Structure 1
């Protein structure tokens, strides 16, 4: 029978997109809150780090090495909570796709950490160059993953945010240290904040 025929690739993507939109409407677990959490982490964390580099001896730069991970772990924890809550309402291809995408973030982060740690351990780079490498590569990974997510869920805003992160990654390396932290704050954190606002407006309209 026709109903038993497997879905085409286009039909599967459309089904995933429809279920994703329904999930946002029913559970209120859209990306607005997640992006807002990451915007807060980036704006405060990297903003503080940049301030520390400009304050002389008033604020030790190493404190930023504590503030940023704490804020990022908080954002990760909140992301896991919201994603898990939203995932309870999903079945079929959307649930599998979401799980695979989440694991891609996890495996990509682990792999990039190993690469950056190994390169740092050679001791051939200056502290300034190490800073550029770590911040640039992580911003690059963020951009690629958001573009991948935008492709999977046919979300132009998500894809555009990923592209913006790629541009920001290149810019952060070009401006050098310590201006790279300013780029992370304004472009990275600002991009997340803008994305959160756009998604929030969309969710409001979708409930009307």
Structure 2
């Protein structure tokens, strides 16, 4: 009887081993891990952030360029107007206009390079937006000529005050319009910066607007540039997590 029981246990054990081996054979040697939705979303966000970084201009750099333009351009005007620079006000006004034009050109080129990588309706929007810039500053140039003739007897400080106010008005409106067209919040912030400075300069008057633009302008744009750097890094780190 003990022999029969031993044979039964042996056969039963062998059967269990065969079934276990069969199950192991049918199973895949390497099971595919389950898809993690969070990891997939993080990967998509990282790809989107990389694409935006490669297409969009670095807004922080643009803010810093404008900070330098305000510091140099209006700093020269301030020095010429208040006598701490051996420079005629008319000469400083021309140099300041060139510096302002250089900053506008840099910003426009950065935008053109960005829009050149986009196709479709955005291409037309970018072209129309660029032409609007040219039209706006053509009017500013004509206004400058006319106002200089009309106010020939006025102090150059008053003439420069009015010309700069109109020029910055066009810049602020164009950036806020660009924000509405392209859905770019950073452009809207830039337009707001210009508008706030312009309003402060108009309220302060001809004798104080240069100080506001020379001191408040660089501070405002540097603060905006640092803010954009922080947001850009936070966005990049957020997509990686």
TM range (shorter): 0.7 to 0.9
The answer to whether the 8 Å contact 2:201/2:213 transfers is yes
In the alignment, structure 1 residue 67 sits paired with structure 2 residue 79: no
Could you list the per-position Cα deviations for residues 54-92 of structure 1 after superposition, in whole angstroms to 9, with x for gaps in the alignment? Answer: 225744333422431332343234234322332232111
The answer to whether the 8 Å contact 2:112/2:126 transfers is no
Instruction: Provide the residue aligned with 2:201 in structure 1.
Output: 172
The answer to whether the 8 Å contact 2:60/2:228 transfers is yes
Per chain length, whose mean CA-contact separation is higher, i.e. which structure has more relative contact order (CA < 8 Å, sep 6+)? Answer: 1
In the alignment, structure 1 residue 187 sits paired with structure 2 residue 216: yes
Instruction: Provide the residue aligned with 1:41 in structure 2.
Output: 69
Which of 78, 81, 98 is 1:50 aligned to?
78
Instruction: Provide the residue aligned with 1:3 in structure 2.
Output: none
Instruction: Provide the residue aligned with 1:87 in structure 2.
Output: 115
Shift of the 89–172 alpha-carbon distance from structure 1 to 2, 3 Å rule, reads same
Structure 1 runs of 4+ aligned residues shifted over 4 Å read 20-23
Partner Cα separation in structure 1 for residue 65 and residue 168 of structure 2: 16
Could you list the per-position Cα deviations for residues 133-174 of structure 1 after superposition, in whole angstroms to 9, with x for gaps in the alignment? Answer: 111111211221122122223344432432342232222122
Deviation at 1:38, TM superposition (A): 1.8
Structure of greater Rg: 2
Q: TM-score, with normalisation over the residues of structure 1?
A: 0.75
Give 5+ residue unaligned stretches, structure 2: 1-47
In the alignment, structure 1 residue 154 sits paired with structure 2 residue 183: yes
Shift of the 45–72 alpha-carbon distance from structure 1 to 2, 3 Å rule, reads same
User: For residues 57-136 of structure 1, what are the structure 2 equivalents within 5 Å?
Assistant: 58-123=86-151, 126-127=154-155, 128-136=157-165
